[in-house]
């Protein structure tokens, strides 16, 4: 089912061309495999990196795909515009995806921009009328009318999923149903205690003979986020390879060693559980993860478990100790040793100790530290002296590695650039001015490190649109500031060539969106709007068309709708049409509904275009599409169309899609993959959260330094490949 989920999400970004897969897991393809991609590696150079002590982990015991991995996103025939494919660690040309193109960044970061559930569940059932978007007045129906009611979820959807887990053996159906229950979540009584007992349905699969099923069960327990102490003990035993605890305390009959993959999945599960847990549980989970990294995980031949633990620590924010936060820290020296993790300060200092341990820790593991640190600092108040002390320290360390003379590996440099975008803001304080300056200089300083240069452009846009607490909170876009970020990005965009230009376009979109979202009264720059509209009008290559359309969508340039529509009408390439459709959805151009409906009806066997167009219609509030998709699903054969249609139903579906999906799940005349996709779609329709569960991990991730248990293109077996 993992590769089934992989196939479904593969098309979720509307960019990756899907090949027919033999099995699946209900997920979305967004990133590389556990190899070092092109441009990775030593110093500031462009040569490939060696995996070092962190070799590639073993493949799961379940069957792999019968066909080759997917071709590069958005590229007819597998050749993206403007760049070659990645190279293997040995430097040989690989047929895998070209990570330097922008599609992958969008795939990992699109969810907060699309935020599809807020469109589907928070408005009335009108299909294109003004009332749909007014949100008030007599004609507007009550909010949440499109979401299946709790009664429907608990009395119709949940029993169907439980029955599937009781009676089905196929990994497609089992993993899809487990993940669906986890996303729906337990119903709670007045005291807050779970009353559905979903964990009891998931727990037995921890001992399944199929690797995909048992590792997914551990992850599902984390997504479920139940506060039942038994679930915490189960995940802790899994990650520590303590099968005897599972046998003796929980009747989980694991008799062999728990695989490293299962332990990594359980570590991510602990992170997701800790994300929503109470403080005492959070500390217990952090202690478990820290102990693993400091001990066994550091010495393992694969880096999956260490990366999973570090990433999860970054999800679990411990309480703030103001006195500790003020402890002086010298960026030129190693941080103090942490003997016990008691507070947020201890977490960050421990993580920075890992980052500084260049000799003892694989650089591909260290590359995940900056994101963890940035997440833990992101919610601290900008006017807190202690928080600023830690920000200053972390930013100073990371800025040292976003320089030409840095000896850091390419993957580490890329992570530092991403983190700086989360640590800085737009005001005129010295630290923030320095962060923005270092990100601007990265274009030339790290010219040979393509991914770091690309990520730096996005990071500059992010911090330059975040108001600070200085005398001029938006100094970064103030026209009086001769070094303002908007001017820099516009000038860079005008001169940029090849694969870099679409990245700068995205950065402009991110900048303008952040400015308007974060600052009441500030509007999109007409210069930016004009530049992107002109670029889209002139663009010929599919990659460029898609990037400019998404950039205009991100910044919600409603004035650019005519350019988007004109390009959509003149474009025949599926990937470009899909991105143009999403761009129209992002700018909320309801006049495009009929045009995009026509695209969907002609795209049953063009899954990437079908999914993108369906997402666009979901953003535009079109509910008539559900009936069309249900009819298409009834007749679909092959995993690609099934994935596209089912996941589209999940993403844009409402209560009207529940009965047909349940009928498909129960229909044993249908293929097992189709029934598995139906389970996946039901979980999406009834999800307890607006954003997909893995957005917590995927947003601002350095997918250039991933592990196979995080994301894997050819097999779709990482956690980020699961819907």
Query: How far is it, in rounded angstroms, from Cα 504 to Cα 491?
Result: 10
Query: How far is it, in rounded angstroms, from Cα 375 to Cα 377?
Result: 5
Helices (H), 24-170: 103-109, 111-114, 116-121, 131-134, 150-152, 158-167
**CA dist 667 → 14, 162, 206, 659, 673 (Å):** 29, 15, 27, 12, 12
Dihedral sign from CA coordinates of 680, 684, 687, 689:
positive
Q: Name the residue with tokens 């400091």.
A: 294
Are 589 and 567 in contact, with CB atoms under 8 Å apart?
no
End-to-end CA distance of the chain: 11
Q: Which 3 state secondary structure label does DSSP give 714? A: coil
DSSP calls for 346-368: HHHHHHHHHHH-TTTS-HHHHTT
User: Which two three-digit tokens encode residue 205?
Assistant: 């699969």
Contacts 24+ apart (CB under 8 A), 309-312: 309/239, 309/267, 310/351, 310/354, 310/365, 310/368, 310/369, 310/372, 311/268, 311/271, 311/368, 311/371, 311/372, 311/697, 311/710, 312/267, 312/268, 312/270, 312/271, 312/272, 312/274, 312/285
pLDDT at residue 465 tops 60: yes
Residue 686: DSSP 8-state: T
For the stretch 41-64, pLDDT in tens is 333 333 323 323 332 222 223 322
User: Which two three-digit tokens encode residue 538?
Assistant: 């002139």
pLDDT of residue 677: 87
Dihedral sign from CA coordinates of 671, 32, 398, 332:
positive
For the stretch 654-687, pLDDT in tens is 788 899 899 989 999 888 888 998 999 999 999 9
For residue 635, how many other CB atoms are within 10 A of its CB? 9
pLDDT at residue 344 tops 60: yes
Are 510 and 464 in contact, with CB atoms under 8 Å apart?
no
**CA dist 138 → 141, 196, 217, 712 (Å):** 8, 37, 46, 50
pTM of the shown model = 0.86
pLDDT of residue 36: 31
Per-residue confidence at 317, pLDDT binned at 50, 70, 90? Answer: very high
Domain ranges for the chain, please list them: 108-118+149-717
Mean pLDDT value across the chain: 83
Q: What's the whole-number mean pLDDT along residues 700-708?
A: 93
For the stretch 622-644, pLDDT in tens is 877 888 888 887 777 777 777 77
Q: What's the whole-number mean pLDDT along residues 401-429?
A: 96
pLDDT at residue 473 tops 50: yes
pLDDT of residue 657: 87
How many helices and strands, by DSSP H and E, does the chain display? 37, 0
């Amino acid at each position: 089912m993992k590769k089934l989920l992989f196939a479904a999400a593969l098309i979720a970004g509307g960019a990756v061309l899907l090949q027919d897969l033999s099995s699946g897991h209900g997920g979305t393809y967004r990133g590389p495999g556990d190899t070092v991609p092109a441009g990775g590696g030593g110093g500031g150079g462009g040569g490939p990196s060696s995996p070092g002590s962190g070799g590639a982990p073993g493949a799961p015991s379940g069957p792999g795909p019968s066909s080759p991995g997917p071709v590069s996103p958005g590229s007819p025939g597998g050749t993206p515009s403007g760049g070659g494919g990645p190279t293997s660690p040995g430097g040989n040309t690989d047929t895998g995806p070209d990570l330097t193109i922008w599609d992958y960044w969008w795939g990992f970061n699109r969810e907060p921009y699309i935020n599809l559930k807020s469109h589907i569940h928070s408005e009335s059932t009108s299909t294109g009328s003004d009332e749909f978007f007014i949100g008030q007045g007599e004609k507007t129906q009550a909010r949440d009318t499109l979401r299946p009611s709790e009664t429907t979820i608990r009395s119709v959807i949940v029993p169907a999923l439980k029955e599937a887990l009781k009676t089905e053996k196929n990994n497609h159906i089992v993993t899809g149903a487990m993940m669906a229950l986890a996303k729906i979540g337990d119903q709670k009584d007045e005291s807050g205690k779970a009353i559905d007992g979903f964990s009891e349905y998931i727990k037995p699969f921890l001992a399944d003979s199929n690797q995909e099923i048992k590792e997914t069960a551990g992850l599902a327990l984390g997504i479920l986020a139940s506060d039942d102490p038994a679930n915490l003990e189960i995940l802790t035993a899994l990650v520590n390879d303590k099968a005897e605890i599972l046998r003796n305390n929980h009747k989980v009959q694991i008799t062999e060693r728990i695989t490293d993959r299962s332990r990594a999945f359980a570590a991510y599960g602990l992170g997701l559980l800790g994300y929503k847990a109470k403080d005492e549980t959070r500390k217990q989970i952090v202690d478990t993860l820290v102990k693993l990294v400091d001990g066994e995980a550091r010495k393992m031949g694969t880096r999956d478990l260490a990366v999973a633990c570090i990433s999860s620590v970054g999800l679990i924010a411990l309480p703030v100790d103001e006195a500790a936060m003020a402890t002086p820290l010298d960026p030129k020296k190693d941080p103090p040793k942490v003997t016990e993790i008691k507070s947020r300060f201890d977490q960050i200092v421990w993580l920075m100790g890992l980052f500084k341990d260049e000799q003892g820790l694989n650089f591909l593991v260290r590359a995940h530290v900056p994101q963890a640190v940035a997440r833990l600092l992101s919610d601290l108040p900008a006017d807190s002296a202690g928080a600023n002390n830690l920000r200053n320290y972390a930013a100073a360390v990371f800025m040292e590695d976003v320089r030409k003379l840095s000896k850091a590996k390419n993957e580490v440099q890329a992570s530092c650039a991403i983190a700086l975008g989360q640590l800085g803001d737009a005001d005129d304080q010295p630290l923030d001015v320095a962060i923005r300056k270092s990100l601007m200089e990265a274009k030339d300083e790290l010219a040979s490190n393509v991914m770091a240069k690309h990520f730096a452009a996005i990071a500059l846009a992010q911090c330059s649109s975040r108001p600070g607490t200085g005398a001029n909170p938006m100094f970064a876009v103030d026209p009086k500031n001769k070094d303002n970020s908007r001017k820099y990005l516009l000038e860079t965009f005008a001169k940029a060539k090849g694969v870099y230009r679409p990245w700068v376009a995205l950065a402009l979109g991110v900048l303008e969106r952040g400015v308007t979202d974060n600052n009441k009264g500030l509007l999109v720059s007409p210069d930016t709007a004009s530049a992107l509209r002109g670029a889209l009008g002139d663009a010929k290559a599919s990659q460029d068309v898609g990037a400019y359309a998404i950039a205009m969508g991100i910044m919600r340039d409603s004035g650019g709708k005519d350019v988007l529509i004109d390009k959509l009408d003149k474009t025949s390439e599926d990937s470009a049409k899909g991105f143009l459709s999403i761009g129209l959805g992002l700018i909320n151009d309801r006049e495009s509904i009929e045009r995009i409906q026509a695209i969907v009806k002609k795209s049953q066997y063009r899954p990437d275009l079908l999914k993108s167009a369906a997402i666009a219609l979901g953003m535009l509030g079109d509910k008539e599409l559900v009936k069309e998709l249900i009819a298409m699903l009834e007749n679909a054969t092959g995993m690609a169309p099934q994935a596209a249609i089912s996941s589209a139903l999940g993403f844009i579906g409402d209560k009207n899609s529940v009965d047909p999906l349940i009928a498909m799940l129960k229909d044993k005349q249908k293929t097992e993959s189709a029934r598995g996709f139906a389970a996946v779609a039901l979980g999406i329709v009834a999800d307890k959260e607006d954003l997909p569960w893995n957005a917590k991990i995927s947003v601002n991730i350095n997918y250039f330094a991933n592990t196979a248990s995080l994301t894997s293109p050819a097999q779709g077996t990482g956690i980020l490949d699961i819907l």
